[in-house]
A and B are shown apart, each in its own frame.
Chain A
Amino acid sequence: MNALLDAGLAPWLRAIDPGPIPAWWQERRRRALESLQTRPLPHSKEESWRYTSLNALLDQGFTAPVQPFTPPPAELDALLIPGLDTHRLVLVNGCFAPELSSSTPLPEAVRIGGLSNWLADDPDLLEDWLGTAIDGKAAFFTLLNEATLADGLAIWVGRGLVIEQPLEVIHICSGQAEPPVAQPRLLVHLEAGAQTTLIERYVGLGKTPTCTNAVIEVSLARDAVLRHERIQTESNQAFHLSGLYLVQDPGSRYQGIQIGLGGRWARTELNVRLQGPHAECLLSGLYVAGDGQLLDYHLDIEHRAPACRSLEHFKGILSGRGRAVFDGRVLVARAAQKSDATMTNRNLMLSEEAEVDAKPQLEINADDVQCSHGTTVGQIEPELLFYLRARGIEARLARRILCLGFASEIIDQIADESLRGHLNSVIGQRLG
């Protein structure tokens, strides 16, 4: 407990009382806490924390709110994206808020509810499910999430079910008195052959500092297909941590898109385990970091089974004193012959002061594989800028257009046109 106490993280551990929780759940919390006590705080000597200091986060004195909180509907309305037609699920400070969520019925084979509902309806399933995707790989902040686990949301999509309407999970972190920390847990499981789209949005309410420490567990059974768009547009005061743990069975397909636009300090850890042959994981990302922002990405992709494909393609735009970290590792296990993995990271630097630390790595233990990685760091090409200006477009707008052009390779992968439009306008504003 010492490291936690010394660092002032004890107030994170006050959890909203979820009502009676079973012994196994208490045991999970206890084990997580125990594990935390044996670990030091993440520090700069750890490879994945080399470029990222925790100090600014610790200085904020974040505290887990103990009172459940419901934002006024008007504030929520302001966070919705006009034209985006989804089945909405809202989490406030990590707790599922059905009264803010869509009430339209879903097909019977999709089961969605807060963890406390699941506990009442199907405790055995929940016990087996919770934590499976993490599989002992929990990062420090994942353990912290686990040690306080009170509520969250779990989505189970039944065998062969194809849901056309996207599910949209909105994470809100808000508190009255102290700067709040929310630690949401999201579980997503697709049974064999199921197909769905999940949009996850992290949004800011107000301008005071907030902290979100989210853990997302995704498991795809055989031939399941998930499109997962994760969009972080929190305020520039926000601190954000999210750890995604994804496991894929044979023939499953995951298409994930990470958009990071907000946050003063935002760290995203993506852990992927391709454990069945012919699974495919496509991960793209876009981060736009301006003055005073640090956007930090860590990818850990494990090819454990043969003939899987993974493609990681991240792009970043950095301006002012904006900073980003792209730390990606692809591991190909000995058994994973015929693996196909490509990792690329491209950065567009708009200022001299901006900084990016990019470190893609391959660790290959099989001999018959196709793997490559590459990183580029460049500026706007003067020739392109001149072309736009020669057509009457003023320099600032011309730069913005070229940046949006650079971003479009990722943004255009977002399925919904309204959401794409929304993102383009947010990016446009952020680029000034």
Chain B
Amino acid sequence: MSQSGVTSMLSIKGLRANVGEREILQGLDLEVGAGEVHAIMGPNGSGKSTLAHVLAGREGYTVTAGSIRFLGEDLLALAPEERAQRGLFLAFQYPVELPGVNNTYFLRTALNSIRRARGEPELDAVSFLRLMREKLKILHLDDSLLKRPVNVGFSGGEKKRNEIFQMTILEPSLAILDETDSGLDIDALRLVADGINALRSAQRSMILVTHYQRLLDYIQPDYVHVLAGGRIIRSGGKELALELEQRGYGWIEAELAA
């Protein structure tokens, strides 16, 4: 059960993970209940993206100890696509470009793969286009992006917005947003935050990885965690983010050392 006592969305216990020979996650615990928004902050290189990738199932990350349960299932036993089909979504810190792969086609294939896996009927091209236009408006994205190959030649901010756009189409149960706010201008940040807030619901949980308090002004988290040295070293409410903004991370590390 999560801290708040609601149904568990994600439960991570004692997670240790290596990248290559190096241990990056060193005994990480995290409980996320349904409908909760958790912010994870922490110094560069502390393992935030590593955690996100381990959750999404990326190759090259070896889990050496601990467990992850997602909606009651053993997440680590699932292939990346199965995780997505069950409702996990990662908005990448560095979204890749897919030359020659049309954005619309890509997203429809993704949505229909997920629907197929769930035994739901697939959407035809026309209904999908309608759905997409509706969601585009929310993010004020230009629909010329849809005719282009995925992320190719997109600006940094456009790539980030495209990630959130994908999220609004795929409607995941658990979204992990890895520094989606980095590289966004002030207006874009607002739009992205609105898009994320519009998706908040009692059934949907979010993990926001961020370096900046600013995003949390728009999206109020239920919990804030500090990840350092591959572990969650402090958790608190949204006031913790404010304190970090003023004081940095050193004081926590100092307190722990004391």
Contact = CB atoms under 8 A, between A and B. Distances in A.
Given A397-B109, A401-B109, A405-B149, A391 B98 contact: no
Contacts of A401: 101, 106, 109
A384 interface: yes
A406 interface: yes
B121 interface: no
Interface string B97-129: 011110000110111011001000000000000
B181 to A, nearest CB: 20
Chain B CB count within 10 A is highest, among A392, A405, A409, for A392
B100 A395 contact: no
7 contacts: A388-B106, A390-B58, A390-B81, A391-B81, A391-B166, A392-B81, A392-B85
A425 interface: no
Chain B CB count within 10 A is highest, among A384, A395, A407, for A384
B90 A390 contact: yes
A353 to B, nearest CB: 22
Contact of B79 (A395, A406, A408, A412): A395
Chain B CB count within 10 A is highest, among A384, A389, A402, for A389
Interface residues of A, number: 25
Contacts of B80: 386, 389-390
B101 A393 contact: no
B124 to A, nearest CB: 16
Contacts of A390: 56-58, 80-81, 83-84, 90, 92
A260 to B, nearest CB: 19
A108 B107 CA distance: 49
Nearest to A387: B96
A394 B100 contact: no
Nearest to B56: A390
Contacts of B58: 386, 390
A402 to B, nearest CB: 7
Contacts of B85: 392
Nearest to A386: B58
Interface string A218-244: 000000000000000000000000000
Given A392-B113, A397-B109, A384 B96 contact: yes
A48 B145 CA distance: 45
Contact of A393 (B59, B81, B99): B81
A386 B81 CA distance: 9
Contact of B99 (A388, A392, A406): A406
Contacts of A409: 99-100
Interface of B: 56-60, 79-81, 83-85, 90, 92, 95-96, 98-101, 106-107, 109-111, 113-114, 117, 149, 166, 170
A391 B96 contact: no
A47 interface: no
Given A391-B84, A391-B106, A392-B85, 10 more contacts: A383-B96, A386-B80, A388-B98, A390-B84, A392-B170, A394-B79, A394-B81, A401-B101, A409-B100, A412-B100
Chain A CB count within 10 A is highest, among B99, B107, B114, for B99
Contact of A406 (B56, B95, B96, B100): B100
B89 to A, nearest CB: 8
Contacts of B98: 384, 387-388, 402, 405
Chain A CB count within 10 A is highest, among B98, B114, B149, for B98
A162 interface: no
Contact of B110 (A386, A391, A405, A406): A391
B84 A389 contact: yes
A404 interface: yes
Contact of B95 (A387, A395, A398): A387
Given A401-B106, A401-B109, A405-B99, A389 B79 contact: yes
A389 B81 contact: yes
A81 to B, nearest CB: 20
A385 to B, nearest CB: 9
Given A386-B58, A386-B80, A387-B95, A392 B110 contact: yes
A406 B97 CA distance: 12
A382 interface: yes
B100 A382 contact: no
B156 to A, nearest CB: 16
Contacts of A382: 59-60
A397 B110 CA distance: 10
A384 B90 CA distance: 14
A384 to B, nearest CB: 6
B100 A408 contact: yes
3 smallest CB-CB distances across A and B, nearest first, come from A405-B100, A408-B100, A392-B84
A408 B102 CA distance: 10
A406 B83 CA distance: 27
